[in-house]
Every structure is written in C-alpha cells, then in structure tokens.
A and B are shown apart, each in its own frame.
Chain A
C-alpha cells in the first residue's frame, strides 16, 4: 500500500484507462482516477445515468479496469446495497462497493435510494461528483446548481440556492461525510482512503467543474476548482462520526478575510456572466451563511 499524502506516491496502477470518452478538461477522469487509485482497484463500481455512463466508452469495451454495473438513474445506492449483501453472503469482505454518481443522480432523483442505504448503514462508499447541473442531457438545472447560474432550463439564471446534500447526509449520522474537489487530489485521495477503512455508508461530495456546462476553457478545470475552494464557494471538510473538521486550504479560510472575493471564481465562468451586482451579493451572503453553518458545526 502506498503512503497517502504525496501525489507522486499515489499507486502507479491506472484503473481509468486511456481512450475513455470524456470531453477535454472533464473532471470525471481526474476524480475517478484518484478514487480508484485510493481503493487500489478493489472496488465494484455502480454508475447510475450520468456523464460517466458515456465516459466509460461503448460496448464491447470499457475504459474502467474495475467491475462496473451501470444502472438506472434513481437506483444507484439500492443497487449497491444488493451487491454488498451478496458479497457478504459469499464471504467476500475485501472489496469496496462504490457508487459513482452525478449531482442529478444524487441530490435529485437518487436521494431517496441514498437516504435508504444510509439509514440501513450499508457499507458503501458513495461519491457524488457534482458538476452542478444535468450535463449529460445538455446542461439542465439540478438541485445542485448554484444561485444565478445559467443553464438551458434557467436561461436568466437559477433563482434558488444549491441544495446542501452533505448536511443532509450528516443528519443521517453516518460514520463519514466529506466534501472534496478535483482541484485538491491529495485531499480527495486521503478522504477516500479514510472512508475505505470505515464501516457503514461513507458519503463524499466531490466538486467537479465542467468546462462545457460552466462555459470556461477546458484547460482551466483545476484553476476553477481551486478558486471555488479559495473563495469559500466550496468548502473542504470532513465529518467523522459527527465531528466536523476543515481540511486542505479550507482549514485557514474560517476567517473571512483570508478568502478571495467570489468574483474571482465567478468571472472565469460564462454561466455567471449575466449576474447583477445584487446577484453577486446574494451569492456572497449565501457563501457567508454557509461558513456560519460550518463555524457552528466546528464548535459542536
């Protein structure tokens, strides 16, 4: 087992193979690559309808060197429950059952199955890669789309804020909830490793900027991902048995003055081009309230 912590010490074995069908700059290849490295390929991956259904590549090939079960949109967590129980019935205990689902498949259509599996305490690592809209179907608004963002179904900008699903998962009192970002692979890697050592449902919400849907140049995925964290729009934390802890660069951003203005993040993305000053303030207030929630949770 490689020592986590340093990028060059990640296992060399690749489980996301060349030739996958992701768009240039897509965060899926980046995120899934580190996740499967952290699990050393000992994973059965359940993928509901999402961009990764396509990224995997068409029959008769697959770009993933792990067993994959593609499944219907709303069904990922329940399917994982079935796989897990069958593995346990066969006495197989060294294989991780992983759900790799988009934000639509998690925060909207899949939340019922996710909640059920969490309540049952099923030993699953559930990873929501959040590109903040239905990208595979052509950039439609989801419950994870942030306020003000353009999508093809919110052409003048979304009027509601992003649904806080990590908080909902914390309320399920599962052993591990974490947020992560494709811009911070060591943080992500460590979180997946940690999750893999715990029993019960582990939930990781992975921020995944999409160049196509967010309208930024494909070489800027990491820059956008990092700015989301540095401006405080996206907060990296983990909750181990209810105990909150900020991680990575977020750890020093509790003081508002340390955060970059959200404008730096918004500016890079065409989806926020039409935001008024009022909209930016609305978003900034939301970010601030998010940090107030984090502060309260840290004090708990």
Chain B
C-alpha cells in the first residue's frame, strides 16, 4: 500500500464524518446556522479551520435563509461551498433551495433529518428532506457514517458535472446516525484530490471582466426551457451517479451500487424497501426471514432525486410482493416513498402485491422485531389474497387516540 492509499481509521459520528468529508472536498466557503442535531457538523468544521487544517472561510449567518443565500452568492462566484441543516432550518431556507437549484449551482448540503414541530421533537423523521423533492435538488440518503463521508465526496463530483450542475443534499438520521459513533475509514487528502479535483471555473461566473446577469426576468416564451434543462440535468444525473460510485469504488475500494442498494434481492420473491439509518435493522429482519425460508430481500433507496426509476423497476419487476416501511407521511395521502414507488411500478406496468407502513415518526424506534412484525403481517395478508395492504400506521397507540 502506497502512502496515498493511507487510510485513517477513526471512530466518528455521521456528523463528524460529514465534517471530514467537507474538509477532504476542500470546501472553500462554509455558511451555516445552528440547529439541533446538525450543530456538531459545523462545530467540527470551525475547529478544522481554527486549527489551520482546512483553508476555508466560515460565514456564521443569522438564519438558514441567509445560509443558503450566502452559499448561492459564493457558488455563483465560483467557490466550492458546503452547509448543513435540519428540520426547521431546511424549511426556513426552502425558498432559497429553489433559488440554488434554478441557478444551477453545485452546492452540497448535509441534512440531518429531524421531525417538524409542533409539537417540538428533535428526533429523526424524513418529512424534512422529502419536502423539497420538487425543487431541483438531488437528494441522497446515507445509512452509516462511512456512507455519509463517501456520499458527500461523491455528491460534489456529481453536482459539479457539467451535465448535471444541480445542488445535492445528503441526508442522514438524527441521533441514530448523527450522534452515533462508528469506525470510519478516512482516506488521505492526496487520494481524495485525485478523485475530486478543484471545482472547474465554469462559464457564467460573477466576474467584472466578463459581466453576466444571473436570474434576470424571463417571460413565458423562455421560462419553460430553463425548467426543461433542469430536468435534463436530473435525468443525466442517474448515470453519472452510477459512474461516480463505480469510480469511487475503484479508487477507495468500496462502492454502494448506485441509486439503490440491493441486499439478498436478486432471487427474492418479496422486497422490503427502506430509507436511511434503520436499514441495518431491516437487513437483520431479512436475514431472520431467510433463515425461516422466506425469500425476501432489501432494497435501500440511496437516491430519492433523481428517483431511481430504472433501478426500482429492474429490482421489483419479478417480485411477488413489495413492502415499503418509511419514516414520513404525506398528509392526506400516504407515505412519500410508497406513493413514488407505486407510481413508478404503475407507469411500467408492474403490479406486485403492495404493502405500505408509516413507522417511527418523531424518532420512535423501529427495531428488528418491528420490521419482523410488519413483514409477517404483510406476508400473511398477501397469502390471504389481499393484494393491497395499508397504508398502516405501525405502532400507533390506539389507547391514547381520542
């Protein structure tokens, strides 16, 4: 092993892993506002800067709206930028999310997913990161601290690709991931530099020598074309995400399978679908059922936007049944993942049995046992001839509901 391949094994929370990733990516401008449980990401970065380990400017803004605005200004001037937020912070910058995407700026942001008040709750739920899914941001979701680090490095490479030029948010779960320490392989700066060179000086940066206007009024005769180009960037991103993950694998010796991660899926009759930190428990539940002879696999969604249409179709086309368990609810309909997966299946003429569960809102634990219960219930219903199961609110305390 050469020195450039040196890997430091550190015990890091996902938040610290994110800070290491931003440092390794050589983010030049960091702009953020504190919110629980994102704070330690930015604290760690401040520490790197103070210690002289990271040559970056930190803009300690007075709100998340301003955090994203500062990222937009810096990115439009050509800098590589990083920020992180959570829950209300993400909602507060909602307007600027659309601005960043419309301006085609390769900003990368960490989102520590957290429930939304009222009532106050600081624990994990995916309502925050799923709410801007129409904005033009690529949305990635990691399961482990290692994946947070790797995904942020990959995110810059994808965002800055000229075929894409869209911002990326990388999500991980509050506390389950954000404050849980795991061993993480931290690669050397040298090798990260090889994988991720400095941001190329793109056309249309703010430059007095070659003045351009960003965001001018556009009449109806051209606005649609701007939107079309964003969608084209999204469509191109699918392949680029796969290629970047493969390239990452070749250099760093680990990769994740692109937009979805499949576990014991290929010969499975049933597929469980999850997002984020509880996927480890889901995997264990799959193993237990396999021991009992149930042919089941796990499909973990890694990328929510662009939605992994082809990957989901390929993974689910030969399945007898699909079970979606998710930490979010689109009020008035059902879970967001279930809706989107059902829509993709329908559009591709695939009609497996389908079960959908809302579980673990506001950070309620979803354990291996819980997954087993949901899966048992679904499989029994399927066997009984029920093709559509749910959406069920798993574990709701009926006794306290008035």
Contacts and interface: CB of A to CB of B under 8 A. Distances in A.
Interface string B59-98: 1111101111111111111110100000000000001100
A155 interface: no
A90 B208 contact: no
Nearest to B204: A67
A44 B206 contact: yes
Chain A contact-residue range equals 35 or more
Interface in A67-125: 67-72, 74-90, 95, 112-113, 115-116, 119-120
A248 interface: no
B99 A71 contact: yes
B349 to A, nearest CB: 41
Contact of A72 (B60, B95, B213): B95
Given A58-B216, A79-B73, A112 B59 contact: no
17 contacts: A57-B216, A59-B219, A62-B216, A67-B207, A68-B213, A69-B73, A70-B216, A72-B69, A74-B65, A78-B63, A79-B73, A81-B59, A82-B29, A82-B59, A86-B28, A86-B78, A89-B29
Nearest to B62: A116
B211 A65 contact: yes
A87 B75 CA distance: 10
A154 interface: no
A68 B208 CA distance: 9
A168 interface: no
Nearest to A74: B65
Interface in B192-230: 206-208, 211-219, 222
A86 B74 contact: yes
A92 to B, nearest CB: 9
A44 B208 contact: yes
B73 A86 contact: yes
Contacts of A140: none
Contacts of B214: 67-70
B154 interface: no
Among B59, B71, B207, B218, find the residue whose CB has the most chain A CB atoms closer than 10 A. Answer: B59
Contacts of B28: 86, 89
Contacts of A71: 69, 72-73, 99, 215
A66 B209 CA distance: 9
Chain B contact-residue range equals 35 or more
Contacts of B78: 86, 90
Nearest to B71: A82
Given A68-B216, A120-B59, 14 more contacts: A56-B217, A66-B211, A67-B212, A70-B213, A71-B73, A71-B215, A75-B99, A78-B66, A82-B29, A85-B57, A86-B77, A86-B78, A90-B78, A95-B208
B70 A85 contact: yes
B65 A85 contact: no
A116 B66 contact: yes
B31 interface: yes
B215 A58 contact: no
Nearest to B70: A82
A61 B217 CA distance: 10
Contacts of A115: 62
Contact of B70 (A53, A68, A79): A79
A246 interface: no
Nearest to A62: B213
Contacts of B215: 69-71
A1 B63 CA distance: 39
A43 B81 CA distance: 22
A54 interface: yes
Contact of B208 (A43, A77, A120): A43
B180 to A, nearest CB: 32
B208 A75 contact: no
Nearest to A80: B73
A1 B68 CA distance: 37
